[in-house]
Each structure stands twice: as C-alpha cells, then as structure tokens.
Structure 1
Amino acid sequence: MSTVIEHAVEARLVASAPCMESVPATLRYDREDPYAVSMAFPPPATLEGVEVSWAFSRELLAEGVEGPAGLGDVRVRPFGYDRTVVEFHAPEGVAVVHVHTSEVRRFLERSQHLVPTGRECQYLDWDGDLGRLLGE
C-alpha cells in the first residue's frame, strides 16, 4: 500500500479584481509525516515561477471544512455551498484560494484510510527521528 496520497484539485485564486483565476494545486499526505498535509502550486501558478508548497496540519484542514480554523500562516474556512477557502499568510502578502469542499473531503477521507485520526503517533519513527537529530 502506498504511504503517500496526492490529490489534484482546481483552486480559484482570489484577487482584488472581480474575476478569479483557476490554478492547479495538489493536496499531499504522507504517512511518514502523519500529522501534516501540504498544498503545492506549480511554477506557472506562482509569482516566483517556482513550485510553492505550504505544509500545515491535517487537523486544521479538517476543522476548516466545517468552520473557521487557524490563527497563523494558514487559515481555512467554509465558503458558500461547496467551497473551502484556504488563506496563506506570508511577509510578502496573503494568497487566498477557493477549493471545492467535496475534493477536500475526498482527500481527507483517503488520508484517513492510511492513518486514522488519533492514531498518528503510531506511524512516527521515534528512533529514526532521534537518530537523525543526534546525527547518528
């Protein structure tokens, strides 16, 4: 069984102009980092022209589908009938994207099959992580 899930989604980049541009994005979950998810944007979708990836907690994403969640660099909240808003806060500014809630739910469900919520600590490699930290 694969330990990584990648789920392509269409994100709508919210700008100050009235129209929203669609950009590809990939939600990613790796069983080796069981508490985290990431959302990556390919080079053509970023101002820098390089892939940009944001990592944040799976719990934050799950909570944000149901109601406003997050106080830091990443904030998630429901919007309308089938949209989830993800805000990425950086010193350069704020990027706001809308994603279909059904796609986010599908991704979260797939991640639950790999690592059920509440059992994440069973998938951590404590000895390996400690060894790398100590340089062994």
Structure 2
Amino acid sequence: MPKPPVAPLPPPRVLTQPMAMELLTPDAVVPIETTVTYTSRDPHALSIVFHLLDEAPVVWRVDREMVLTGSLTATGAGEVHLRPAPDGRLLLRLGPAGHCAEVRCDQDGLARLVRDTFVLVPQGTEENHIDWQPLLAALRT
C-alpha cells in the first residue's frame, strides 16, 4: 500500500531572549540570569534556562498559553504555577509542593516574547510544526 505524501515541515524558527529574574527566598531576593527560548519544533512550550553559579543550567519548560493566563490570574498544574504579583510582575512557582522555588520576572517582557511566538506559530497550527516521523518510526518497531 503506497504511503500518502507527507507535507514538508516549515523551516524551524527560534526566539531567544535573555531575561533577568529573581529567586525569592525567606531571607533574600537573589538575581538570576535566565535565557528564555522558543522553538517552532516544540510549539507549545517555552524553555526557561536558569544560569546558576558553578552548576549546570536548570531548564524548566512552561506552556506558552499558561504564561499569558498567569499574567492575569493564578494558573498552573503539577510543578508549574504562575500568578500575577501585586507589583505588576509575574511569579512562577517551580517544583513540587514543599520543595519549590518561587521566581519573579518582568511580566511585560515575558508576555511580549510569548506574543511573538504566536506570530511565528499561530494558535491552532502548532501540530503543523512538529516532526512526527521519529515518534511514528518508534511506534512501528
């Protein structure tokens, strides 16, 4: 049986933005440099890379729509929760309850990056940007 033709994937598109964030601890506010990256090959999520001193970077993946919702109201599931801060910034709670980190960032800067992702990959077209072939090949074995 002949295979149906596979539509070519659009070329991958990547957005990368350095962003200063703050780790909130009971005793201090600690500045953390991060890099937020979006790739059209993983169209639903942002990767936030925390560059820590003398340690390998820590990467958290956050749903791009959750970021927009979290800038308006508390949202989240599992180990990722977001909510607007009283000072107009965005609070991210990352990790399991009782062992989580609370990070504060510029809400406008992160929301602007997320809006740019919707220009690259409009809502509803995400699946057109995913390379399904490796998954399908794995399922056949």
TM-score over 0.5 for the pair: yes
Residue 130 of structure 1 aligns to which amino acid in structure 2? L
Give per-residue Cα distances to partners, 1:3-23, cap 9 Å, x unaligned. 111111110110001x31111
Residue 108 of structure 1 aligns to which amino acid in structure 2? V
Cα RMSD after superposing both structures: 2.1
- 1:75 maps onto 2:84 in alignment: no
Moved more, 27-36 or 81-90: 81-90
Distance 1:80 1:4, change over 3 A: same
Residue 21 of structure 2 aligns to which amino acid in structure 1? A
CA distance in 2, matches of 1:91, 1:77: 16
Q: How many residues align?
A: 131
Secondary structure of the structure 1 residue equivalent to 2:95: strand
Deviation at 1:120, TM superposition (A): 0.9
CA distance in 1, matches of 2:85, 2:31: 17
Identity %: 24
Q: TM-score scaled to structure 1, two decimals?
A: 0.85
| Structure 2 equivalent of residue 99 of structure 1 | 105
Give per-residue Cα distances to partners, 1:26-74, cap 9 Å, x unaligned. 1111100111111111131xxx711100113112112111111102111
Q: TM-score scaled to structure 2, two decimals?
A: 0.82
Contiguous gaps of at least 5 residues in structure 1: none
| Structure 2 equivalent of residue 24 of structure 1 | 33
CA distance in 2, matches of 1:80, 1:42: 26
| Structure 2 equivalent of residue 33 of structure 1 | 42
Instruction: Please give the residue correspondences for 1:1-136 in structure 2 after superposition, counting only pairs within 5 Å.
Output: 3-17=13-27, 19-44=28-53, 49-90=55-96, 93-131=99-137, 133-134=138-139
Contiguous gaps of at least 5 residues in structure 2: 1-10
Distance 1:2 1:120, change over 3 A: closer
